[in-house]
Amino acid sequence: MIPRHIDLHPQVRDALAEHKPVVALESTIIAHGMPWPRNAETALQVQDDVRAHGAVPATIAVIDGRPTVGLSDAQIERLGREGRAAAKLSRRDLAACMARGATGATTVAGTMVLAERAGIAVFATGGIGGVHRGAETSLDISADLHELARTPVAVVCAGAKSILDLPLTLEVLETLGVPVLGYRTDTLPAFFARDSGLALEQRFDDLGDIARAMQAHWALGLGGLVVANPVPEAAALPREWIDRTIEHALAAAQTAGVRGKATTPYLLEHIQVASQGRSLEANIALVRHNAAVAAQLACAFMHA
């Protein structure tokens, strides 16, 4: 039963009632991940990509205090225009936003919470959060990792964001018992780059096999899974260039005193400027690709 405090878009409600495939989509990428109007345009394109591959899209946010699973076009445009003025909502932030009657965009962790409550098994995003560089002193580790450990949702992503400490992120996922399944890749993707150089233990070339792995994982009462899907080759950026640019961006962020939730948007904006817009195009390409794969996976899961 869907909790009464969650609003469902009619198409999402009907699809869930009829046991049709649904794909959850996050909203932080709209409010905090891209500039207006590309953010809203991309969100609508991503929804179309999900539909084109046989599933129903459910973009998730909190709108005027109501957790909303399946945003209307007008709500997507509103988040896009508000941008960073909209709250950024992880698990810990949902209740406060609801109590204030406020509006906010959900992170990977926040989206997973609401997707699971609504009964959605597959979620597409750009890249998950993880262990930030310098976390040995800052302890800056994304709540996404713990959410993956406890919430039974499969997250299709282009690995973890390039700005993170990827070896430590992979290590923490292993410690937390989160499977990282490479979809047609032997290595962890690095968001803008196809290959981080970090080997994955599990590779799958067929989404039906991933769907069966999801069923087996959840039959054991376990949490989430990462389905690592590399950015399309035509849109990928060279890993060596990304690494150099991130080092420069981190130094600039430290000088500017940027910390916490503000760090990721700051670094992504720095990379966008340095790449003359190529990183934004790569971001759009990878999230659309993830949405298409997630829709196919949701369909496979319904028939596994």
Considering 88, 116, 147, 161, which one is annotated as catalytic? 161
> How far apart (Å, rounded) are the C-alpha atoms in residues 58 and 22?
7
Amino acid making up residue 34: M
Alpha helices in 83-165 (DSSP H): 94-100, 108-118, 135-138, 143-150
Considering 20, 26, 136, 233, which one is annotated as catalytic? 26
Known active-site residue 77: no
Q: What is the dihedral of CA 42, 270, 156, 140, to 10 degrees?
A: -140
Chain-centre distance for alpha carbon 235: 18
User: What beta strand segments (E) does the chain contain?
Assistant: 7-8, 22-25, 56-63, 66-69, 87-89, 104-106, 122-124, 154-157, 180-183, 202-204, 225-228
> How far apart (Å, rounded) are the C-alpha atoms in residues 262 and 279?
18
Known active-site residue 161: yes
> How far apart (Å, rounded) are the C-alpha atoms in residues 58 and 148?
19
Q: What is the 3-state secondary structure (H, E, C) of 45-65?
A: HHHHHHHHCCCEEEEEEEECC
> How far apart (Å, rounded) are the C-alpha atoms in residues 48 and 241?
32
Beta strand 104-106 pairing with 122-124: unpaired
Residues catalogued as catalytic: 26, 161
